[in-house]
């Protein structure tokens, strides 16, 4: 008879296309049936052959006909059922699993051959496993139990002497015709309308992993079995919530993903059979699909609210489950897009897996349900009283074994807790961590106590000056001051400041060039009891005027002839006036409270540093002497006098890292050298000392300009994410140096966490664990600690917290909040940084929760730049984003929608009139409209890269510093 060519179903076409895209990836579904007792091999072989003959879809072969892929339905009773005897192996169970894993790695090519294989594994004379592997193009997870149950029925009947009666399975050809009719029907169009409307404004799908990867048949699998008594309690809890265990599992999955990612609009993948008709329910074939399940998990929802929301969403999805994922992907124009349609997949396997082969007890076991994109959660709602089983199948490129195990343990515990608590319990109050996890992230990894005696900074320096009066303290351009000289000069200047009324509670501005006298002046202010306020003379006049007006300093110390805005009283510093007069003088004597206008206490302000403000108004962060003294104590512990013996002071006083560079060495006998900036090292050919620090982008620029003759025992990087390449380059240049990645906002007195290179950093280095007397908490939106591996907002507590923002009490209260994990009245600082703990107790920095960034170590509120650009009449909308199109060189790029004729260079000049140089965008890109994602929010990833070559004009950069700023 002529060969019958049958079209592929829509489900088969999806699998076929997926296989063409990944020809080396086995797209299989597999199971085994464990049979206990003396199995009749000959009879079983006959039963298996009959079963293969009965299921028409299992006999499909794919061929090309008339320019299209078709299937040939060719029942073949000669299928081979080999017997694999593993009973002689030392561990038959392990041998069987290894054998099955090897089969799963073998492809079933779509080249016209048979698309399934089967074998009988003998583990013992009375224990067998029947293994069935099929290409997903001919079978889905719903078909396997149907085929297995039919085999058990036939074996039982023939074993009792009965005659073989062909099965009353659904007609596969009729099923194909039914599906074809559906796809041409109004029901299909109604289903399409439902899905496209439901997901027109979809949010980005979230994952429990960091990135994405191509689907793989190789996955990490872990199993958790909930004991029968606890499974029964879980079912009872589900009934209290007016659902069943599968419904609770789906709700728990949505809530777990929400809690682990911070998303409030969660899209899961829901595995469905795609079967809504009797014919489909009776026909073994490939019909299943995965459809998106959207569940909103609001912060104020109760457990009952969650379950009802998940139940409604599931019911709607099941009503429209015949519509296929691939159709929806095309409808939403996601083909080839970077956006995923859904995150983790929940697969409810609600089958009775118990079988009976003529009195021999048997049980079905799924081996694989197909390739894994990200994470599949398979919940087996068994009916045999053995307890609920939960399998996690995770992509090996996205999850480690430890991560899978932790997620599985936590998920099952979370689901059980949802079933146990009062349905009216707010979701935010359902604990996610167990006691051990909670203790680890709150206490064990925050055990940083270090005794530090109360002190003010002048005391620390003066004690060191008394110990080593003749040792070099500070050098600039060949001029060196000893500790005695530095102490005496600072004392003389301090008395002049006191004479002008400066003291504790006051500020003194410093607008000086970078030389040894800058250190003298800073120490002098501290000795007077006042707090120093650094002023960068390169700032626009408007910004300097604002800072002086905001802090109202008692005076501004500046060099003669310096042009400054405003009427702040000036003290022009003549270095010669600080020299020791002939015969000595009493002005150099130590300044005490008897000399100051008021006593100086550790809680008094030591300095104020201004950082960018989101409203366009910079804010002053006030740091106390106690915080600075604590920083010095940590530096002595983790670095010590030897590592701080000769330090490069290269950072602007306007950036708080400068405090680490100049102050901590001077409290331990160190010698600091003042340079313009880090790039000066390259210009003069090198530098030799014990410690150099800088922001990663500046260090990268230094190395890119040619490896300088740099010698240092410690390299401290801070202020930006540390790329792995920079760590690698520094190791090559300084193989014996210790590389540190240190993190801390100005509000936490320079540094809060530290990581020291162990030679194993593969990606971006972590920012480490909390330093001495600092505690770090990674919390969710409800201020609950999140588990290791889970992103949350980083909060800091401890002795290093700043006093707050100068004259900004509301902002101080907003950012410095009550700490629920410390002593009564203790505060913690809300950093706005997204971070997570890793398994080793190190913190990984993940970015900002707001629109704040760090460029070259300076903290920048993008909103301040956007506000400045928006003031130009030619700008209708403005968005500023950081881009790192060249690794290690982050730059600010502005995107504007013009309100009239616009010139990009003119906009940059306009911004420079009110913003410091480090906040002026490197490029301005005009756009007809800002790109939006489906939810109507700015799609930052769709913003185009700037064309720097097109806007290049004028001379090329001449120095490494100009290259960095370009």
Task: Enter the tokens of residue 525.
Answer: 């202010």
DSSP string, 4-46: PEEEPPHHHHHHHHHHHHSTTS--EEEEEEEEES---HHHHHH
DSSP string, 158-207: HHTTPPP----PPPHHHHHHHHHHHHTSHHHHHHHHHHHHHTTTPPPP--
- List the chain residues with pLDDT less than 70: 1-3, 75-78, 217, 336-339, 382-385, 581-588, 614-616, 707, 759-763, 851-852, 854, 856-859, 886-889, 933-937, 948-966
Give the pTM. Answer: 0.80
Q: What are the residues whose beta carbons fall under 8 Å from the beta carbon of 953, sequence distance 6 or more?
A: 905
Whole-number CA gyration radius for the chain: 35
The Cα–Cα gap between 669 and 661 comes to 13
Q: What is the pLDDT of residue 261?
A: 86
CA geometry: angle 742, 721, 265, nearest 5 deg: 115
The Cα–Cα gap between 504 and 507 comes to 8
- Facing residues of 122 across strands? 85, 128
Q: Which of 803, 891, 887, 796 is nearest to 845 (CA)?
A: 796
454 to 222, 295, 626, 629: CA distances (angstroms): 53, 53, 7, 8
Residue-wise burial string across 191-214, b where 16 or more C-beta atoms lie within 10 A, e elsewhere: beeebeebbeebbbbbbbbeeeee
Any idea how long the chain is? 966
What DSSP element (H or E) covers 346? Answer: strand 345-349
Q: What is the pLDDT of residue 336?
A: 62
Q: What is the pLDDT of residue 382?
A: 67
Q: Show the domains of the chain with their CATH numbers.
A: 5-173 (3.30.559.10), 189-431 (3.30.559.30), 457-844 (3.40.50.12780), 854-965 (3.30.300.30)
Q: What is the pLDDT of residue 444?
A: 97
369-417 pLDDT, tens digit each: 878 888 999 998 766 667 888 999 998 888 989 889 999 999 999 999 9
Neighbours of 732 (CB within 10 A): 10
Q: What is the pLDDT of residue 877?
A: 81
């Amino acid at each position: 008879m002529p060969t019958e060519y049958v079209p592929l179903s829509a489900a088969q076409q999806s699998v076929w296309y997926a296989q063409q895209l990944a020809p080396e990836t086995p797209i299989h579904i597999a199971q085994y049936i464990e049979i206990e007792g003396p199995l009749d091999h000959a009879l079983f072989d006959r039963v298996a052959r009959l079963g293969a003959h009965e299921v028409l879809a299992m006999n499909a072969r794919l061929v090309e006909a008339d320019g299209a892929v078709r299937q040939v339905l060719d029942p073949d009773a000669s299928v081979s059922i080999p017997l694999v005897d593993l009973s002689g192996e030392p561990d038959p169970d392990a041998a069987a699993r290894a054998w099955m894993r090897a089969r799963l790695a073998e492809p079933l090519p779509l080249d016209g051959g048979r698309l399934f294989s089967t074998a009988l594994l003998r583990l013992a004379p009375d224990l067998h496993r029947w293994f069935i592997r099929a290409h997903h193009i001919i079978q889905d997870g719903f078909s396997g139990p149907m085929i297995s149950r039919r085999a058990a029925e036939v074996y039982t009947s023939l074993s009792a002497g009965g005659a073989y009666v062909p099965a009353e399975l659904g007609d596969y050809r009729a099923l194909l015709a039914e599906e074809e009719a559906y796809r041409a029907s109004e029901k299909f169009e109604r289903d399409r309308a439902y899905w496209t409307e439901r997901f027109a404004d979809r949010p980005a799908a979230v994952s429990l992993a960091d990135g994405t990867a191509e689907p793989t048949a190789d996955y990490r699998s872990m199993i958790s079995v909930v004991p029968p008594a606890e499974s029964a309690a879980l079912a009872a809890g589900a009934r209290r919530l007016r659902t069943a265990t599968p419904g609770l599992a789906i709700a728990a999955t949505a809530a777990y993903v929400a809690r682990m990612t911070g998303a409030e609009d969660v899209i899961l993948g829901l595995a469905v059979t795609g079967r809504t008709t009797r014919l489909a329910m009776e026909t073994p074939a490939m019909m299943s699909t995965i459809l998106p399940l959207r569940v909103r998990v609001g912060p104020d929802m109760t457990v009952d609210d969650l379950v009802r929301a998940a139940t409604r969403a599931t019911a709607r999805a099941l009503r429209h489950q015949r519509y296929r994922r691939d159709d929806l992907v095309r409808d939403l124009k996601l083909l080839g897009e970077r956006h995923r349609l859904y995150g983790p997949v929940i697969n409810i396997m609600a089958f009775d897996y118990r079988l009976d082969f003529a009195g021999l007890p048997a049980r079905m076991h799924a081996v694989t349900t197909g390739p894994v994109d990200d994470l599949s959660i398979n919940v087996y709602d068994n009916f045999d009283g053995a307890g609920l089983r939960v399998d996690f199948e995770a992509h090996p490129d996205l999850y480690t074994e430890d991560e899978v195990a932790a997620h599985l343990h936590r998920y099952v515990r979370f689901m059980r807790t949802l079933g146990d608590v009062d349905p009216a319990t707010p979701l935010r109050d359902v604990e996610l961590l167990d006691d051990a996890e909670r203790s680890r992230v709150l206490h064990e990894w925050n055990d940083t106590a270090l005794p530090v005696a109360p002190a003010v900074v002048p005391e620390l320096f003066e004690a060191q000056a008394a110990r080593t009066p003749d040792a070099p303290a500070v050098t600039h351009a060949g001029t060196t001051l000893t500790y005695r000289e530095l102490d005496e000069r600072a004392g003389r200047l301090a008395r002049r400041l006191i004479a002008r009324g400066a003291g504790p509670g006051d500020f003194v501005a410093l607008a000086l060039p970078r030389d040894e006298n800058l250190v003298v002046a800073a120490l002098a202010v501290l000795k007077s009891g006042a707090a120093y306020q650094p002023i960068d003379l390169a700032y626009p006049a408007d910004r300097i005027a604002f800072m002086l007006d905001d802090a109202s300093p008692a005076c501004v110390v500046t060099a003669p002839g310096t042009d400054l805005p405003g009427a702040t009283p000036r003290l022009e510093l003549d270095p010669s006036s600080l020299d020791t007069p002939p015969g000595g003088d009493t002005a150099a004597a130590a300044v005490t409270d008897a000399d100051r206008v008021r006593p100086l206490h550790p809680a008094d302000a030591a300095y104020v540093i201004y950082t960018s403000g989101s409203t366009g108004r910079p804010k002053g962060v006030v740091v106390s002497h106690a915080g600075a003294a604590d920083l010095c104590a940590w530096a002595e512990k983790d670095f010590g006098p030897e590592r701080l013996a000769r330090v490069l002071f290269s950072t602007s006083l306007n950036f708080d890292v400068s405090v680490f560079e100049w102050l901590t060495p001077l409290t331990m006998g160190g010698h600091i050298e003042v340079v313009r900036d880090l790039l000066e090292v390259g210009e003069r050919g090198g530098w030799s000392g014990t410690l150099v620090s800088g922001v990663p982008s500046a260090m990268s620029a230094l190395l890119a300009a040619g490896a300088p003759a740099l010698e240092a025992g410690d390299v401290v990087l801070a202020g930006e994410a540390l790329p792995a390449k920079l760590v690698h380059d520094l190791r090559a240049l300084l193989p014996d140096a210790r590389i540190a990645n240190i993190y801390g906002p100005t509000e936490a007195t320079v540094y809060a966490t530290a990581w020291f290179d162990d030679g194993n950093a593969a990606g971006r280095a972590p920012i480490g664990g909390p330093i001495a007397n600092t505690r770090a908490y990674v919390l969710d939106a409800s201020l609950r600690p999140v588990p290791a591996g889970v992103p949350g907002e980083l909060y800091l507590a401890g002795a290093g917290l700043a006093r707050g923002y100068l004259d900004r009490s509301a902002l101080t209260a907003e950012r410095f909040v009550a700490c629920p994990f410390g002593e009564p009245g203790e505060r913690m600082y809300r950093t706005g940084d997204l971070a997570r703990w890793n398994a080793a107790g190190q913190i990984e920095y993940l970015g900002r929760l707001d629109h704040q960034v760090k460029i070259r170590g300076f903290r920048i509120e993008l909103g301040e730049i956007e506000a400045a650009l928006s003031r130009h009449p030619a700008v209708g909308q403005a968005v500023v984003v950081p881009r790192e199109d060249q690794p290690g060189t982050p730059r600010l790029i502005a995107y504007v929608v013009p309100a009239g004729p616009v010139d990009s260079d003119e906009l940059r000049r306009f911004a420079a009139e009110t913003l410091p140089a480090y906040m002026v965008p490197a490029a301005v890109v005009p756009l007809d409209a800002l790109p939006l994602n489906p939810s109507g929010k700015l799609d930052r990833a769709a913003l185009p890269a700037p064309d720097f070559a097109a806007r290049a004009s004028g001379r090329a950069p001449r120095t490494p510093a100009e290259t960095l700023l370009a």
